C-alpha cells in the first residue's frame, strides 16, 4: 500500500477538521437528518408581492435571517477565506460572525466588510458583523479582543459556551492535525505578547496542534457567575450565547444576554447530544415564551431548512459547513455556485414571509 503524500495528508486533515465530528459522528449526521423529519404546512393568499425578509436580531434589523456561522481558520479552506466571506456577506445581506481564531486580524476583516456594504438609506436594514469569542484563561486577552471589536465597528458578540474542553475528534488526532503557525495567533498576537498567564509568541513556535491549542487557551472555569463581568466588557454591544440546548439554560441565559444560539457545535463536541432544531421544537412544543431571540445553528443545508427554523419560532439561522464546502477548492467562484444552485433564499426568491409558515408533525 502506498503512503499518502504530505499534500494528501494536509487535505485530509483539513477536510476532517472542518467536515468531521466528535466520537462516532452520530450527532453530525443527525444535525441534517433532524430537519428531514419536520414537514411544513404553507399558508396561502398572504399578499406576498414584496415579502419582508428582515429580522430583528442582536438589537438591530438585518436584511435576511441568515448568518455565516463562526468557523476557525477559514484560510485553511481558501487562502482568502475570511476576506471572501466578509466581502460576500456584506454585499448579499447575509450577516457574518468572525471567529476569534481568524487567520486575518479582526481589524482587516472589519475594513473589508464595511467597504463592501451597499449604499442604502440610513434606516434600511444592513447585515451585521459580529465577533465570536471564547473566554480564555487570561481573560484580559478576551476583553482586549472585545475592545478592539468595539473600536472597529462590530455590531455585537457571540459567546461560545459549549466547549470548556474539546470534544473527541478522532480525525484530528489520527491526522496529527496542526494549524500553520502563521495563522494560529493572527488575531491576538499583541495580547499574547504581553500576557504573563498564558502564552508568549515563542510558545507558538513549538508547533502546538489545533486541538491542544484550543484546550490550553480556553478557560474551563468560566461559569454563570461570570456573565455579569462579560456583559460589562462588551462596551454596550449586544451579545448572544452560543451552544445552549436545554430550555432551562435558555431561560437562564436570556437573563444575561440578548439572544441565544441553539447549537451543538456542529456535532464536534458531545456526540449523542440533541440537535439545534430538536431543541427549538421542544421549546416550541412546550409553549415557553422567552424575552429574546432563538437562533438555530447546525445542519441547515437549504432554504427549506431556514423556513423550518422560522416556522418553529426561530428568529434566524447560522450556516457554517454549507458555505465552507463552497470555498473549499473553489474559492469565491465555488461559493457563488453553491449560492445559486443549492441555497435559493435570497431577495426576490423567497415565496413565504415570516408569518405565513407553521411547522407541524411530531418528529421527535
Annotated binding site for glyoxylate: 17, 132, 134, 169, 263, 265, 268
Question: What are 328's three cell numbers?
Answer: 473549499
Per annotation, catalytic residue among 47, 176, 256, 265? 265
> CA 358 to CA 337: how far, in whole Å?
30
**114, 124, 141, 278 from 95: Cα distances, Å:** 12, 14, 25, 24
> CA 222 to CA 116: how far, in whole Å?
36
b/e code 52-79 from CB counts within 10 Å (16+ = b): ebbbebbebebbbbbbbbbbbbbbbbbe
- Give strand ranges (E) for 256-349: 259-263, 293-297, 316-319
Contact yes or no for 73/183 (Cβ under 8 A)? yes
Known catalytic membership, residue 265: yes
- Position of cell 423556513? 307
Q: Provide DSSP, 174-233.
A: HHT----HHHHTTTTHHHHTT-SSS--GGGGGG---HHHHHHHHB-TT--GGGHHHHHHT
Contact yes or no for 254/290 (Cβ under 8 A)? yes
Q: Which of 323, 333, 331 is nearest to 75 (CA)?
A: 331
Q: What is the dihedral of CA 352, 266, 105, 179, to 10 degrees?
A: -150
Contact yes or no for 361/37 (Cβ under 8 A)? yes
Question: What are 36's three cell numbers?
Answer: 428531514
> CA 319 to CA 302: how far, in whole Å?
10
Contact yes or no for 160/260 (Cβ under 8 A)? no
Q: 6, exposed or middle or buried, with CB in 10 Å at 0-12, 13-18, 19+?
A: exposed
Binding positions are 17, 70-72, 99, 132, 134, 160, 169, 242, 263, 265, 268, 320-321
Binding positions for FMN are 70-72, 99, 160, 242, 320-321
Residues tagged active-site? 265
Amino acid at each position: 500500500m502506498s503512503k499518502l503524500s504530505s499534500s494528501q495528508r494536509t487535505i485530509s486533515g483539513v477536510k476532517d477538521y472542518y467536515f468531521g465530528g466528535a466520537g462516532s459522528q452520530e450527532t453530525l449526521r443527525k444535525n441534517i437528518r433532524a430537519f428531514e423529519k419536520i414537514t411544513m404546512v404553507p399558508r396561502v393568499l398572504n399578499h406576498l408581492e414584496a415579502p419582508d425578509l428582515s429580522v430583528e436580531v442582536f438589537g438591530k434589523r438585518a436584511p435576511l435571517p441568515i448568518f455565516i456561522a463562526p468557523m476557525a481558520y477559514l484560510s485553511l479552506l481558501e487562502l482568502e477565506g475570511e476576506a471572501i466571506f466578509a466581502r460576500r456577506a456584506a454585499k448579499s445581506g447575509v450577516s457574518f460572525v468572525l471567529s476569534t481564531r481568524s487567520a486575518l486580524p479582526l481589524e482587516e476583516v472589519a475594513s473589508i466588510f464595511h467597504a463592501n456594504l451597499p449604499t442604502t438609506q440610513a434606516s434600511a436594514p444592513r447585515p451585521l458583523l459580529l465577533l465570536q469569542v471564547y473566554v480564555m484563561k487570561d481573560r484580559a486577552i478576551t476583553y482586549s479582543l472585545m475592545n478592539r471589536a468595539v473600536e472597529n465597528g462590530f455590531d455585537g458578540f457571540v459567546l461560545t459556551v459549549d466547549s470548556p474542553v474539546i470534544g473527541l475528534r478522532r480525525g484530528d488526532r489520527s491526522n496529527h492535525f496542526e494549524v500553520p503557525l502563521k495563522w494560529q495567533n493572527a488575531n491576538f498576537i499583541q495580547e499574547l505578547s504581553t500576557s504573563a498567564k498564558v502564552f508568549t509568541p515563542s510558545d507558538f513556535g513549538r508547533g502546538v496542534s489545533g486541538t491542544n491549542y484550543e484546550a490550553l487557551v480556553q478557560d474551563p472555569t468560566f461559569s454563570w457567575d461570570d456573565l455579569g463581568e462579560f456583559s460589562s466588557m462588551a462596551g454596550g454591544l449586544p451579545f448572544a450565547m452560543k451552544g445552549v440546548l436545554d430550555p432551562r439554560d435558555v431561560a437562564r441565559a436570556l437573563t444575561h444576554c440578548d439572544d441565544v444560539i441553539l447549537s451543538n457545535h456542529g456535532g464536534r463536541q458531545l456526540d449523542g447530544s440533541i440537535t439545534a432544531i430538536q431543541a427549538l421544537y421542544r421549546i416550541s412544543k412546550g409553549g415557553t415564551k422567552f424575552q429574546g431571540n432563538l437562533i438555530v445553528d447546525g445542519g441547515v443545508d437549504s432554504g427549506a431548512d431556514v423556513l423550518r427554523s422560522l416556522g418553529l419560532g426561530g428568529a434566524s439561522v447560522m450556516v457554517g459547513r454549507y458555505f465552507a464546502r463552497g470555498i473549499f477548492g473553489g474559492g469565491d467562484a465555488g461559493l457563488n455556485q453553491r449560492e445559486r444552485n443549492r441555497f435559493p433564499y435570497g431577495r426576490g426568491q423567497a415565496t413565504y414571509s415570516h408569518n405565513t409558515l407553521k411547522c407541524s408533525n411530531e418528529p421527535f
